[in-house]
Amino acid sequence: MTPPSLSETTPGRDLKRRFVWLGLAMVLGLAVLAVQLYRLQITQGEEYAAKSVANFVKEVRLRADRGLIKDRRGTILVDSRPSFDAFLTPAFCTNCADDVLPRLGELLGWDEATRKRMEEQVRLARRTAPFLPLPVCVDLTRDEYDRINARRDILDGVEVVPVPHRNYRTGSVLSHVLGYMNEINPDELERLNAEGGHYALGDYIGRRGLERSFEYALCGTDGVRKEVV
């Protein structure tokens, strides 16, 4: 009498069943990997490729000079004057809230409320535009400029950039006609950009008079320079 083979015995059948389930699990795993690979390479390939480029390419904003305001004879009433602003790039700021911002606050004489506000702005910018420089101090004095440049070694992500600022040649005269400018707030930023604007946190917009009425004509169009980082 021929003895039964291994596959005909109870232990053999259990072993065969296990191999079948193992094979099915391997096939299922390969199918999941194939679907995921198709999604990454084909369906969302362009999106992830753009994100990978954004990881090492920094877009530097080239601010447009705000337009001149002249009278009917061509005399310049409002133009822009050279100045220096301090910017912080969130992606390059190591230990921002614990080290960089407190040190920067000491150099610039910030109070606690100002430092907390800047921490919140940096936190928001880190999520939305980590490579976009965020203004942390506008129109630096000569002393502030020297103090920041002297401690650049401990201020990761901070840089001082020349930025034109508004210059009203007539002083307070015609202020009711020319208007004035101040910093854009988050609600205005969202609304204006939804309407086709290209504003960022820290930008100034016209509030009254001609500055406000001709805001879109005066603000100009910013440029962009890409740098490998």
* Average pLDDT value for the chain: 83
Strand extents, DSSP E, 19-169: 57-62, 69-70, 76-81, 84-88, 134-137, 158-162, 165-168
Strand extents, DSSP E, the chain: 57-62, 69-70, 76-81, 84-88, 134-137, 158-162, 165-168, 181-183, 204-206, 223-228
pLDDT at 179: 92
pLDDT at 57: 67
Based on the number of CB atoms within 10 Å of its own CB, is 101 exposed (0-12), middle (13-18) or buried (19 or more)?
buried
pLDDT at 214: 92
pTM here is 0.57
pLDDT at 98: 86
Task: Measure the CA angle with vertex 187, ends 114 and 83; round to 5°.
Answer: 50
pLDDT at 130: 81
Which residues of the chain have a pLDDT value below 70? 1-13, 45-58, 227-229
